[in-house]
Amino acid sequence: MMMYYILVGAIALISMLVSNRLKSKFKHYSKVHLRNGMSGAEIAEKMLADHGITDVKVISTPGQLTDHYNPRNKTVNLSDVVYSQRNAAAAAVAAHEVGHAVQHAQAYGWLTMRSQLVPVVGVASKFSMFAIMGGIILMSAASVGIGKMVLLIGLGMFAMGTLFSFITLPVEYDASNRALAWLERKNMVSREELAGAKDSLKWAARTYVVAALGSLATLVYLALSFLGSD
């Protein structure tokens, strides 16, 4: 189990470093003010209009880096610093979230698949570690057969979460590509502002990459430990 804790600690450390780097980038590009003077909310509304999307609302949500698109009620939720600010970071995040709304409107395959997995993954993620730990405990208590079955069920649920993490990657990268293409095509930003938007979204995407690789590494470790005990 010591190796497991070391692995989890290493993943957590890398995740923290990438997250801190993202916050640093966001803070830096928040100082690059847009020449067009538009706020994040105005950028989002303009991008929605340009794509002919009229049934999605842009609203403000509390917190920092809490921005997201909700396909259930069709809302682009922008954090306070993105909704009202007029800088390259806000433009990048706002356009990225609208990118998800465009994916939804166009029935983008990866987003559809991800949305279908949400209910299953929501349940699996809550109980996977309980099942895994329960299986390990049962195996150590001489209930090897039942313990291995419970552990295998836990690994299956954890694998669902890992699959979800990897399906999220093309969804996030595609939303960023749509956002940057629109910002450039519509001449919404200058070269400096576009470079800042690209850098901001690059680091945002890396948080998802780290999460996916971390989940995969944990799954592989647990699976090998399970097979090794057979």
**Residues 111 and 171: beta-carbon distance below 8 Å:** yes
Residue type, 120: V
Q: Which of 161, 156, 160, 131 is nearest to 146 (CA)?
A: 131
Amino acid at 208: Y
C-alpha angle with apex 224: 162 to 156, nearest 5 degrees?
A: 40
**What's the token pair of residue 111?**
């987003």
42, 45, 97, 193: the catalytic one is 97
Sequence-distant (≥ 6) Cβ neighbours of residue 164 within 8 angstroms: 114, 117, 121
- Known catalytic residue: 97? yes
Q: What 3-state class would DSSP assign to 55? A: coil
Q: Which two tokens stand for residue 227?
A: 């097979």
Could you please report the per-residue DSSP string of 83-148?
Answer: HS--BHHHHHHHHHHHHHHHHHHTT-HHHHHHHHHHHHHHHHHHHHHHHHHHHHHHHHTT-HHHHH
Catalytic residues: 97
